[in-house]
Amino acid sequence: MIYLDYAATTPVDPRVLESMQPFFREQFGNPSSIHRYGQAAEGALSTARETVASLLKCQPDEIIFTSCGSESDNLALRGAALARRSETGTEKILLSRVEHPAVVKTAIQLERMFGFKLGWLEVDELGMITPRAVSNAIGDDVALVSVMYANNEIGTINPIHEIGLLCREKGVVFHTDAVQAAAYLPLNVDELSVDLMSLGAHKFYGPKGVGALFVRKNTGLIPSITGGGQEFGLRSGTQNVPYIIGFAHALSLATDERSDRIRYVIPLRDQIIGTVLETINDVRLTGHKQERLPNHASFVFKGVDGNLLLALLDSAGFACSSGSACKTGNPEPSEVMEALKLERDWGLGSLRVTLGMDTQAGQVKQFLDSLPSLVEKARRLKTGKP
Ligand SMILES: *Cc1c(COP(=O)(O)O)cnc(C)c1O
């Protein structure tokens, strides 16, 4: 089996796993305890927080550890929206339809259950949210803007710095979901001009079930999890020390090795994009050609059921992903494909191929040799022709 779905999740780096081990049994203390067990855990937790802060170029007390990227997005959106409304009376949230469901569904809940207003930012045909789209929509009634750093389905990288400057000019809080971007893109929060930034470890060779939220000093945030007051009162609950250690180590390795990792995956990605567009009919690249994640290739095939193609790929030994939501019997193109305004017979046939540190050139070749006939088979099965 060949794994080509690193945007969904990555295996834990053995070096990361090793650094986590002592914190399950030997140093198992609760960081809030006064005794030495607690102090040891608190020391390790502080070091991890300092490591993450130094990588993001912020202060340690601006890092909140959470249980995942989704929780970070939830805390950012709900927390900042509620705080801004009580501080300023503003209650409009700007976001786009291509955001991750952890952002979109939280915003929709804020609208339906808490009376906030949503403003949907336009997305261009490459899936990008431009500074112009934000400046056209931003007004005095806006509490919060949320724009993802890089899109998980189509790999497009957004101009976060420019959007951040626009928000700052208007005094509007700016959140970016950097969960997919963190493996490959720079994370300096000042250069990005963000107030809130979500991260999740399992997208950069850390463990699943641990995330972080950068919260710029003086950004109001109402906690979703209240209790013992851990994480500066913004996220109660005894910290998951071993996983936080893993998070910090994985992010540190990702930063140190970033340029090597980029140099490794780009030629493989470009080979996939070039060959697929050359060898298969009625195919389009989705997302941006240049401004895209270095490990990310995504396509739509006309007249193909994306889920069927994934099943055929799986039987042939390739683990890939599709953008289309998996609704049996009544497949619908994903929100992202809808936002790109793709016609239905294209939007249903999406395929995402994402690479990682363990991807071998020979595996890419095998994939490229197999794909054309599998696409053809999927087309035949869809039309019912023999
Ligand atoms: C994976 C992902 C998430 C969710 O992260 P989890 O840690 O799986 O909850 C959020 N946003 C983006 C862009 C992602 O790729």
pLDDT at 386 over 50: yes
Domain with CATH 3.90.1150.10 in the chain: 258-383
pLDDT at 327: 46
Q: What tens digit of pLDDT does each residue of 286-337 get?
A: 999 999 999 999 999 999 999 999 999 999 999 999 855 444 455 678 889 9
Task: Please enumerate in sequence order all residues whose Cβ is within 8 A of that of 48, keeping only pairs 6 or more positions apart, or say none.
Answer: 244, 245, 247, 248
In whole angstroms, give the CA distance from residue 213 to residue 233: 13
Ligand 1 atom with the shortest distance to the CA of 181: 13
**Residue 42 Cβ < 6 Å to ligand 1:** no
Domain with CATH 3.40.640.10 in the chain: 14-256
Nearest-CA residue for ligand 1 atom 3 is 69
H or E stretch including 146? strand 142-146
Average pLDDT over residues 9-16: 98
In whole angstroms, give the CA distance from residue 126 to residue 292: 10
Task: Please enumerate in sequence order all residues whose Cβ is within 8 A of that of 2, keeping only pairs 6 or more positions apart, or say none.
Answer: 317, 318, 319, 363, 366, 367
Q: What tens digit of pLDDT does each residue of 248-268 get?
A: 999 999 999 999 999 999 999
H or E stretch including 175? strand 173-177
Q: What tens digit of pLDDT does each residue of 73-86 get?
A: 999 999 999 999 99
Average pLDDT over residues 351-375: 98
Average pLDDT of the chain is: 95
pLDDT at 384 over 80: no
Ligand 1 pocket mutation pick from 67, 98, 100, 154 by most atoms within 8 angstroms of CB = 100
Q: 101: CA distance to ligand 1 center in Å?
A: 9
**Residue 164 Cβ < 6 Å to ligand 1:** no
Q: How confident is the model at residue 284 (pLDDT cuts 50, 70, 90)?
A: very high
Average pLDDT over residues 45-62: 98
CATH 3.40.30.10, domain 14-256, yes or no: no
**Rounded percentage of the chain residues whose pLDDT exceeds 90:** 93
**Residue 92 Cβ < 6 Å to ligand 1:** no
> Which backbone phi and psi does 334 adopt, to 5 degrees?
-70, 165
For 81-105, give the DSSP string: HHHHHHHH---EEEEETTS-HHHHH
Active-site residue numbers? Answer: 326
Ligand 1 atom with the shortest distance to the CA of 71: 9
Task: Please enumerate in sequence order all residues whose Cβ is within 8 A of that of 188, keeping only pairs 6 or more positions apart, or say none.
Answer: 56, 57
Long-range contacts of 328-334 (CB under 8 A, 24+ apart): 331/305, 331/306, 331/307, 334/153
Coil, helix or strand for 213? strand
**Residue 179 Cβ < 6 Å to ligand 1:** yes
Q: What is the CATH number of domain 258-383?
A: 3.90.1150.10
What are 365's two structure tokens?
């070749």
Q: How confident is the model at residue 42 (pLDDT cuts 50, 70, 90)?
A: very high
Q: What tens digit of pLDDT does each residue of 87-138 get?
A: 999 999 999 999 999 999 999 999 999 999 999 999 999 999 999 999 999 9
**Residue 240 Cβ < 6 Å to ligand 1:** no
DSSP 231: G
Residue 17, CB-side half-sphere exposure with 13 Å CA sphere = 6
Q: How far is CA 329 from CA 301, 305, 307, 308, 326, in A?
A: 20, 11, 11, 12, 9
In whole angstroms, give the CA distance from residue 96 to residue 123: 7
Query: Kindly report the CA angle at 71 between 60 and 262, in degrees rounded to 5?
Result: 70
**Residue 200 Cβ < 6 Å to ligand 1:** yes
